[in-house]
């Protein structure tokens, strides 16, 4: 069976449908079977459905995603309570340690993302990894900075990614490699994304998992949970009616 | 290659060498045995030879190219093969 590749972080501008369509078509041509794009929290369901329809025309599966940027633990809880059932993928951009720790242990969080350039605010250390390993959160790594940065900035970024990837591997935290790009020129084939991932020391099996199995599993798990037939993990409605 | 203009053969291979040198340094670049075998200006395709041991290194370097001859560009790997004959077969397929 062919491997299904996914990119869970395409920055599509919903207000510019022509560019969005170009990026979606390009992603499909490059071999992705599933993409996800972040929406603002106030997005209506019909707007998401519209983009889903565009994607299905391009023969690519689409998952809705939201990037939460809470400043406190309380804010994170409120946002999760309000938005968990509206979006298929929830990513928390961890701006401070308190939020990072809480997001890592909350089972409603799918992805943990850290500020790209501020190395001191990348809180993915052993404590964070231990919390994440007991929940469902995965570490998301965007490839875009590897393409746009140069010189010392890229060196620092690579070094912190190498450290984080080693910690994630040690604690069995899944890694999801996404593009994080908005322009079609910066899109890369899944195998090329995997090649860039070699730069921070992952082996081939982990690299391929990071661009296929791990992201696909997150979307599959959440779709099942969001389905009306879901009752609890492992329990779902098979049949309803008086003859049951 | 995905770019606005059509870079010359020299511009293309310079961009590849520069990407390898930027990511792995001159020492790393010297281990790749990189050579441009064929370059089609119309199709914007190229055949590059490299040693098998440094294949991942070259793949990552090609993926990191964002401009060729000061124009935005992206280089995608269509196929990898041990012989040029098999490579042509793969690409046609």
* Bridging pattern class, strands B45-49 and B35-40: antiparallel
pLDDT higher than threshold 90 for residue A66: yes
Give the chain B residue whose CA is nearest to the CA of A154.
Answer: B23
pLDDT higher than threshold 70 for residue A1: no
- pLDDT tens digits for A15-35? 788 888 889 999 999 999 999
Q: Which architecture, in CATH terms, is A5-236? A: Alpha-Beta Barrel (3.20)
Across the range A118-139, mean pLDDT stands at: 88
Give the chain A residue whose CA is nearest to the CA of B62.
Answer: A192
CATH 3.40.50.300 assigned to B2-92: no
pLDDT higher than threshold 90 for residue A115: no
pLDDT higher than threshold 70 for residue A244: no
- Cβ-Cβ contacts under 8 Å for A197 (sequence gap 6 or more): A141, A143, A177, A207, A210, A211
- Within 8 A of B50 by CB-CB distance, chain A residues are none
Query: How far is the CA of A8 from the CAs of A222, A238, B15, B23, B70, in angstroms?
Result: 13, 30, 30, 26, 30
Nearest-Cα distance to chain B for A193, in Å, is 8
CB A33 within 8 A of CB A22: no
pLDDT at site A235 = 86
Residues 65-84 of B with CB under 8 A from A: 66, 72-74, 76-77
Q: Are B74 and A193 in contact (CB < 8 Å)? A: no
Q: What is the ipTM of this complex?
A: 0.85
Give A3's DSSP letter. P
Give the chain B residue whose CA is nearest to the CA of A204.
Answer: B56
pLDDT at site A57 = 87
- Within 8 A of B60 by CB-CB distance, chain A residues are 192, 195-196, 198-199
Query: How far is the CA of A115 from the CAs of A124, A160, A161, A167, A179, in angstroms?
Result: 11, 12, 12, 17, 15
CB A115 within 8 A of CB A62: no
Q: Which residue has the higher pLDDT, A121 or B36?
A: B36
pLDDT at site B42 = 86
- Cβ-Cβ contacts under 8 Å for B59 (sequence gap 6 or more): A191, A192, A195, B77
- Sorting pLDDT into bands at 50, 70 and 90, what band is A187? very high
Across the range B47-60, mean pLDDT stands at: 93
Q: What is the Cα–Cα distance from A115 to A117, expressed in whole angstroms?
A: 6
- Cβ-Cβ contacts under 8 Å for B88 (sequence gap 6 or more): none
Q: Chain A interface, mutation test: which of B76, B78, B79, B90, most A Cβ atoms within 10 Å?
A: B76
- Within 8 A of A146 by CB-CB distance, chain B residues are 64
Closest CA to A209 of A180, A179, A170, A175: A175
Q: Are A195 and B23 in contact (CB < 8 Å)? A: no
Is residue B56 within 8 angstroms of chain A, CB to CB?
yes
Mean pLDDT of chain B: 91
Identity of the residue in A30, A146, A189 whose CB atom sits nearest the CB atom of B64: A146
Q: What is the Cα–Cα distance from A177 to A148, expressed in whole angstroms?
A: 16
Is residue A211 within 8 angstroms of chain B, CB to CB?
no
Is residue B60 within 8 angstroms of chain A, CB to CB?
yes
- Cβ-Cβ contacts under 8 Å for A43 (sequence gap 6 or more): A14, A64
CB A214 within 8 A of CB A169: no
- pLDDT tens digits for A90-109? 999 998 899 999 999 999 99
pLDDT higher than threshold 80 for residue A118: no
Q: What is the Cα–Cα distance from B70 to B91, expressed in whole angstroms?
A: 28
CB B60 within 8 A of CB B43: no
- pLDDT tens digits for A130-172? 999 989 899 999 999 999 988 888 998 999 999 999 999 999 9
User: Angle at CA A107, nearest 5°, toward A105 and A162?
Assistant: 55
- Cβ-Cβ contacts under 8 Å for A178 (sequence gap 6 or more): A7, A8, A9, A10, A140, A141, A142, A143, A215
């Amino acid at each position: 069976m062919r491997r299904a590749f996914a990119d869970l972080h395409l920055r599509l501008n919903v207000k510019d449908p022509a560019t969005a369509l170009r990026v979606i078509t390009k992603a499909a041509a490059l071999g992705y079977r599933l993409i996800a794009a972040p929406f603002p929290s106030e997005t209506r369901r019909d707007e998401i459905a519209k983009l889903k329809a565009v994607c299905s025309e391009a023969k690519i599966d689409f998952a809705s995603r939201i990037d939460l940027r809470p400043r406190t633990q309380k804010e994170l809880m409120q946002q999760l309570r309000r938005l968990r059932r509206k979006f298929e993928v929830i990513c928390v951009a961890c701006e401070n340690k308190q939020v990072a720790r809480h997001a890592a242990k909350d089972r409603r969080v799918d992805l943990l993302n850290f500020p790209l350039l501020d190395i001191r605010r990348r809180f993915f250390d052993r404590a964070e990894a231990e919390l994440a390993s007991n929940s469902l959160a995965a570490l998301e790594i965007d490839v875009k900075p590897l393409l746009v940065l140069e010189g010392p900035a890229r060196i620092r970024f690579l070094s912190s990614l190498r450290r984080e990837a080693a910690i994630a591997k040690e604690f069995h935290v899944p890694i999801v490699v996404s593009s994080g790009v908005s322009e079609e020129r910066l899109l890369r084939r899944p195998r090329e994304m995997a090649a860039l991932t070699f730069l921070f020391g992952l082996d081939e099996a982990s690299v391929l998992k990071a661009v296929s199995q791990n992201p696909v599993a997150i979307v599959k798990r959440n779709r099942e949970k969001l389905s009306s037939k879901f009752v609890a993990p492992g329990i779902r409605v098979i049949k309803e009616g008086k003859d049951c | 290659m995905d770019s606005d203009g059509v870079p010359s053969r020299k511009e293309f291979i310079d961009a590849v060498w520069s990407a390898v040198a930027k990511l792995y340094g001159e020492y790393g670049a010297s281990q790749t045995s990189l050579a441009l075998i064929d370059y089609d200006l119309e199709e914007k395709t190229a055949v590059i030879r490299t040693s098998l041991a440094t294949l991942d290194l070259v793949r990552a370097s090609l993926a990191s190219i964002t401009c060729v001859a000061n124009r935005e560009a992206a280089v995608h790997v269509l196929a990898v093969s041990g012989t040029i004959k098999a490579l042509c077969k793969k690409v046609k397929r």
